[in-house]
Structure 1
Amino acid sequence: MKKLTLLSFGLWLMGQSLLAQGTVESYNRAFSLQDKFKDKVFYANVTPQWIGSSSLFWYVQNAPQGKTYILIDAQKKTHTHLFDHNKLALELTLATDKPVDALKLPLQSLKVTEALDSLYFVYNSYNWTYAIKQNSLKKGDKVVAVKEEYWGKVDTEREGKPVISPDKKLSAFVKDNNLYVKDLKTGIEKALSTSGTKEDYYSAYPYWSPDSKKVAVMRIHGAETRQLYLIESSPADQFQPKLQTRDYVKPGDVLPARTPVIFDIASGDRKVASNDLFKSQMDLKGFEWLPDSKSVLFEYNQRGHQVYRVLEMSAETGEIKTLVEETAKTFVNYTRYFRQTVNNGKEMIWMSERDNWNHLYLYDRLTGTVKNQITKGAWYVRDVLNVDEKKREIIFSANGMKANEDPYLVRYYRIRFDGTGLTCLTPEEGMHQAWFSDDKKYLVDVYSMVNKAPVTVLRSAADGKIIMPLEKADISELLKAGWIAPEPFVAKGRDGKTDIWGIIYRPTNFDATKKYPVIEYIYAGPGSQYTPKTFISYNRNMSALAELGFILIQLDGMGTSFRSKAFEEICYKNLKDAGFPDRILWAKAAAAKYPYMDIERMGIFGASAGGQEAMGAVLFHPEHYKAAYSSCGCHDNRMDKIWWNEQWMSYPVDSSYIASSNVENAHLLTRPLMLVVGEMDDNVDPSTTYKVCNELIKANKDFELVVLPGVPHTMGGDYGEHKRFDFFVKNLMGVTPPSWDKVVIKK
């Protein structure tokens, strides 16, 4: 018996050794995959640039021999080189004493004059001008890097430049918390208000009426801005750590309150709006003066997002009336926004989800009533690209209009204000991206799918007819390198009716006779849709991880956007749902069709909202998800930024925040978990992750924590990616990952 046991142990060790060797090979394949697929797709990545208001545009053609700058004349249907590549390459070589390849011209931020006589571009950190006909190259100033401002900085509106009146005679500005005007000819200043204080002050963004006789401005009752504190443990310029702070407003925080005020310059009279129609403000924004200078429009977003109003204030009486009112028991999705006044201010185009789908409406501005619904149906308006008041036509993009295909595929359309004349401009199946000429006569259309290479055509913007083909991507070299297209897959959701769409990634050495653990990449935050729909040769979240011997999946369950409002509002006060009832059914349907998908060994990973959801998966659905990698997770919605969390979890902060919290529910953990956090994350408060750790420690739970010094919001970077590989190999394959010094990392 003892000999048998030793023999078994020896066989086990041998098996582990073979598995480990295979794992080393798979790691090396995974880390080299991006390089393997690099530069293997040709005649793709077309990004056209229209030249001024002409019918001309240029783009870079990516051919096997190199890149060429192509000029198209849409009117003449001609296809030529934008300039002589050899001449410019020679001039750059002479100017820099460094050889420049004519088919690898490193031109950044290229601009072309409408006369086609000059190029302006950045090369080697300098601005350059090239006169094409004269073949003359001139070196300009060194490019000064502009430091990006922190995205979350709160604008208190205390500082701003003077605003010049339309007749150029006066300027309006704020001084000592009050509003002033200055006569630009005499230099004489006049205070329009005197009651402003540090706590109650006038905004530094005044709005002049078209006739230059009045100024509209917000009076603001300020609120203290919460600060996020970050310890930079290992700064590059000193040995000791640094404390950094950021503006960071969280759910439940007190917000500023705004009151519209209109000043008459000549008389000094002012009209102060009553706040009856805009109490409990999340935001009060505007203004837009109407052409007759008699009133202004502004918009009110109620705290909790269940009311949104477009309001009109009379400059003569100060009275407020409601033009548009959106209400919802869950939330008004104010980010699905479009408003434009037309017909000299008498009409207004408005976007709304009021009939369960995102559509456009034409309003009578004078009466505040809907004249007609412009777009209608079980589909979703995405963006308005152009409103032509003369023709009374709109160009817009939408998805879901065509039956029996992926409902997320975007196409472009024309329609009249009265809802007639709906015309599809990009009819082929695929995810379309269009660039319109300035006069809206032409469009360049690039379309593809995750499993279909891009096609680029020039179309008429009147009817969508193809004027001339431009490029058709060649992926033959990519296929020779072993690339396998991801597979779109659809299954029914929790209601048994709704189609849930996703994709499946397989390794390049895929063998249908083997069993593969399955890993889901998740980002299910409402407000958008996340599963890729366009062609990409290398998916940074999924391709390499699949190469280790996993099947990777991604899908959009209920709670995400661009379907019906009912589809998205599943998330209301319930972010922990994250579409999991749909995700689990989808995975089971895929495994039923493909038995090589072993969903008994199912993992999940994500970052940010996806980090919250990945951890939530093993807390709330441990029967399905057996291991989770969670990076920079928003683990408790009370800790995260106000604008995203109150939109979906509402206001005031209540027990629903606790029910969705990974911090409050950390004690439920029964599966392997790796938490990753960048110590300089100013998107999601890093303390959210530390709070989760604290609760896990209190509950005596085993978990792994990776803290990345100096790193901002992240999935994990190169180091975190390697840790993620090891985590899933160990916990889903049951294999000890190879020593890091045995793995060749190529980036």
Structure 2
Amino acid sequence: MHLPDPRDDGPVDPCPDFPEQFARTRRFSLGAVRAPSVSADGRRVVFLRTRTGSDPVSLLRLWQDGTERTLADPGELPAAPEPADPLRERTRELALGITAFAADADCTIAAFTLGGALWAVRTEDAVPFRVPVPGPVFDPRPSPDGSRIAYVSEGALHVVGVDGTGARTLAAPEGPCVGYGSSDHISAESMGRLRGHWWAHGGDAVLAVRVDESDVQLRWYADPFRPERAPRSAPYPAAGTANPRVTLHVLGLDGERVRIDLPGGDFEYLPAAGWDAHGPFAAAQTRDQRTLRTLAVDPTTGHVRTVSERTDAHWVELISGTPCRTASGALVEPYDDEGCDTRRLAVDGRAVTPPGLQLIAVHGTQGDAVLFGGAEEPTEEHVYRYTPERGCERLSEEPGVHTAAVGGDTFVLDSAGTHGSCVTLHRGDGLLGELATLTEEPVPQPRPRLLVLGERRLRCALFLPGGREPRAGTRLPVLLSPYGGPGMQLVRKGSGWQDAVAQWFAEQGFAVLVVDGRGTPGRGLAWEKAISGDQLGPALEDQVDAVRAAAAELPYLDLSRVGIRGWSFGGTLAAAAVLRRPDVFHVAVAGAAPSDQRHYDSHWKERFLGHPDEHPAHYARSSLLDDAPGLRRPLLLVHGTADDNVAFTHTLKLSAALLAAGRPHTVLPLPGETHLVRDPVTQRQLLRYERNFLLSALRPTGSQS
């Protein structure tokens, strides 16, 4: 087995500035409009954006009546070093400064934190002021009328007047393992519920979660790069182990407290909750994830009424923005129509979207209208509006990926397509204006060629040097660069940072092939559920089928030199490629790869593989450790030592299994990095290290054996 020398500088990079640009722009995220919040009357939009595409500090901005201005600039405000914020990791936040905020219903006041202190700003005068409360403050949220702010500090839920008066504690922590008002790890990471408290529509109470993690196993995280620092512990419910006990409470500003009668027993999860004009609501899910109940809550008694129950033989998929209700109280939720293999939008118990239009997310309601994201073709996502009078109509026009934020009769349309990105404001059917997008354009520009390959019509993107087919007789090494698992698509008509990285690798002389296989979203119910019980096998088979089908059509693809790189599940897929299919793959770079699925979190892994005590074979076939003796190809394992999502232990265990089997491999630890690599130096040097490793293994001297 040829093992590349990591010290090899490799050939000259034809695009040497790209790694620096990639790091400087934080993966081309700086300068983008983020988290737009639209006022109930549709006149104001509050949002986050940095000054330029390379400025890392995020400002709070306002659009009103056709003009933009800054509401709060962190550089002009005194702030201590920012304390640890668990949501920064869950939301994959890369910017600094003001990275999150919340506004009242009319967007007249916004609250945020800096250095753990509570700050607010009124949109009418744009003069930020500090609200004097003890910190560190987490997740501050103004009441609907803007008179008060609810926030979390050290496990307690507090309320204070915007002017700093009337401070009170609504719920205090009950020991070190029981707190109020914040999401737990799996709700934030695997269910998408980032919040833990919601104001009553009238502003006289708060709906809050109580999280009891007493029975959840602890993980200890030490930083070997800084041995003088004490290890820290954090609860982590791995597959098959105890979950946190999550309950829901109505906390009145008058001191009254009502516990909500959530279903007990197997209903261990609370994927969604909220409070609208019709009262509080919640969604409860069983541990096996095959049943999801939507509940209407009586805030005075705590009694609940089941308004909907969804079941599935495999798992009930959670859809962002659901459940919610229209102005008339009609329930908005997904409807999985197996007869036409379509996840449809249902309003008041009736499917209102046509077969073939896959529901991706619900963006919000406008009266009795519903704005939602849908896909008729997996490579695109459009914004649609359903109204009882007109049915469904598509609001986005250009091919690409479009999302929306809604307020009153106004919506913000965020569009990424083949002609670039833009953010526009619309009222009814008219265009109001545009929010400036200041992101840098990557050099080189991504030039993907979209393909449909194989009997399963796999959606693929091919990136070639210069974006052009090579001269006749040229043979290019192939580099697959997938994610390939549930929850993420990479092959889309809207350039993301992954496309920019793929094009840079193509400029190094690779034909880069990106494949969305079974289990990825946007292609129907059967496609998603095809990985039930085996998350890895079908995904790997689709990568193999795609590269072979591509080579059958494109004679310049050299199947004697095939590499693969990936991160997270894509890293598992990359490692599995060389471990299980060395006949196809000749080198792999596996970043932050789960190697033993039993060590990943309960909600995510049990969704696809079931409980490990009941289905141990599912976990074995989806894990890597038993495959270690079969390694015959070069394998680079990369992992952040402070990763609290896919713990560093995954790479250590795989490395130990490879060592025990006598199989040479390379391990690159990233000191202090989490699942999201943040350090700019590490970001750019990691790209170069991967490039050199892959080029060394796929040197044009013929196939390895």
Q: TM-score, normalised by structure 1?
A: 0.67
* Structure 2 partner of 1:308: 292
What code does the residue aligned with 1:281 have?
Answer: F
- 8 Å Cα contact 1:519-1:551 kept in structure 2: yes
Q: 1:731 aligns with which of 689, 697, 700?
A: 697
**Using a 3 Å threshold, how does the CA distance of structure 1 residues 540 and 579 change in structure 2: closer, same or farther?**
same
**Using a 3 Å threshold, how does the CA distance of structure 1 residues 335 and 460 change in structure 2: closer, same or farther?**
closer
When Rg is computed on C-alpha atoms for both structures, the one with the higher figure is 1
Alpha-carbon separation, structure 2, partners of 1:532 and 1:504:
12
Alpha-carbon deviation of 1:67?
A: 9.2
What code does the residue aligned with 2:70 have?
Answer: Y
Alpha-carbon deviation of 1:560?
A: 0.6
**In the alignment, is residue 575 of structure 1 matched against residue 535 of structure 2?**
yes
* Structure 1 partner of 2:457: 499
- 8 Å Cα contact 1:484-1:507 kept in structure 2: no
Alpha-carbon deviation of 1:350?
A: 1.6
The SS at the match of 1:713 is coil
Cα deviations by residue, 1:185-220 (Å, 9 ceiling, x for unpaired):
xx9x99999xx9869989578989889999987777
- 8 Å Cα contact 1:219-1:258 kept in structure 2: yes
Alpha-carbon separation, structure 2, partners of 1:535 and 1:191:
45
Alpha-carbon deviation of 1:436?
A: 6.7
Alpha-carbon deviation of 1:455?
A: 7.3
**In the alignment, is residue 409 of structure 1 matched against residue 396 of structure 2?**
no
Q: 1:423 aligns with which of 376, 384, 393?
A: 393
The SS at the match of 1:358 is strand
Alpha-carbon separation, structure 2, partners of 1:109 and 1:482:
28
* Structure 2 partner of 1:366: none
Alpha-carbon deviation of 1:25?
A: 8.1
* Structure 1 partner of 2:342: 357
* Structure 2 partner of 1:742: none
What code does the residue aligned with 2:650 have?
Answer: T
Question: Mind listing any 5+ residue stretches in structure 2 that lack a counterpart?
Answer: 91-136, 160-165, 182-195
Q: 1:393 aligns with which of 349, 359, 369?
A: 369
* Structure 1 partner of 2:654: 692
Residues 192-341 of structure 1: matches in 2 within 5 Å? 223-235=214-226, 240=228, 242-258=230-246, 273=261, 277-284=263-270, 297-312=281-296, 321-341=305-325
- 8 Å Cα contact 1:524-1:578 kept in structure 2: no
What code does the residue aligned with 2:14 have?
Answer: R
Alpha-carbon separation, structure 1, partners of 2:406 and 2:247:
41
Q: TM-score, normalised by structure 2?
A: 0.70
* Structure 1 partner of 2:14: 29
% identical equivalent positions? 20
What code does the residue aligned with 2:334 have?
Answer: M
Alpha-carbon separation, structure 1, partners of 2:38 and 2:328:
30
Q: 1:676 aligns with which of 630, 633, 638?
A: 638
**Using a 3 Å threshold, how does the CA distance of structure 1 residues 678 and 210 change in structure 2: closer, same or farther?**
closer
Alpha-carbon deviation of 1:695?
A: 1.3
* Structure 2 partner of 1:10: none
Alpha-carbon separation, structure 1, partners of 2:220 and 2:45:
48
**In the alignment, is residue 553 of structure 1 matched against residue 538 of structure 2?**
no
**Using a 3 Å threshold, how does the CA distance of structure 1 residues 546 and 216 change in structure 2: closer, same or farther?**
closer
Alpha-carbon deviation of 1:301?
A: 1.2
Question: Mind listing any 5+ residue stretches in structure 1 that lack a counterpart?
Answer: 1-19, 61-65, 69-103, 128-140, 182-186, 364-369, 401-405, 737-747
Alpha-carbon separation, structure 1, partners of 2:141 and 2:57:
38
Alpha-carbon deviation of 1:504?
A: 1.0
Instruction: Decide which moves more: 533-542 or 51-60.
Output: 51-60
Cα deviations by residue, 1:405-446 (Å, 9 ceiling, x for unpaired):
x5321222222147x432222233x11436678553576664
Alpha-carbon separation, structure 1, partners of 2:434 and 2:215:
57
What's the C-alpha RMSD, in Å, of the aligned pairs?
5.4
The SS at the match of 2:623 is coil
Alpha-carbon separation, structure 1, partners of 2:415 and 2:212:
49
Alpha-carbon separation, structure 2, partners of 1:443 and 1:167:
23
Alpha-carbon separation, structure 1, partners of 2:587 and 2:68:
58
Cα deviations by residue, 1:218-268 (Å, 9 ceiling, x for unpaired):
777653333332332233xxx756534333221122123356678999999
* Structure 2 partner of 1:448: 417
- 8 Å Cα contact 1:248-1:641 kept in structure 2: yes
Instruction: Decide which moves more: 307-316 or 629-638.
Output: 307-316
**Using a 3 Å threshold, how does the CA distance of structure 1 residues 291 and 604 change in structure 2: closer, same or farther?**
closer
- 8 Å Cα contact 2:380-2:492 kept in structure 1: no
What code does the residue aligned with 1:720 have?
Answer: L
- 8 Å Cα contact 2:144-2:199 kept in structure 1: yes
Alpha-carbon separation, structure 2, partners of 1:271 and 1:111:
38
* Structure 1 partner of 2:61: 111
Alpha-carbon separation, structure 1, partners of 2:142 and 2:405:
33
What code does the residue aligned with 1:585 have?
Answer: D
**In the alignment, is residue 712 of structure 1 matched against residue 697 of structure 2?**
no
**Using a 3 Å threshold, how does the CA distance of structure 1 residues 386 and 198 change in structure 2: closer, same or farther?**
closer
* Structure 2 partner of 1:377: 355
Alpha-carbon deviation of 1:556?
A: 0.5
- 8 Å Cα contact 2:33-2:423 kept in structure 1: no
Cα deviations by residue, 1:472-511 (Å, 9 ceiling, x for unpaired):
99x9x99xx986722111113xxx3x42111111123944
- 8 Å Cα contact 1:280-1:302 kept in structure 2: yes
Alpha-carbon separation, structure 2, partners of 1:283 and 1:116:
43
- 8 Å Cα contact 1:153-1:246 kept in structure 2: no
Alpha-carbon separation, structure 2, partners of 1:516 and 1:735:
12
Alpha-carbon deviation of 1:30?
A: 4.3
Residues 6-85 of structure 1: matches in 2 within 5 Å? 26-33=11-18
* Number of positions where the alignment pairs a residue of Structure 1 with one of Structure 2: 608
Alpha-carbon deviation of 1:578?
A: 5.2
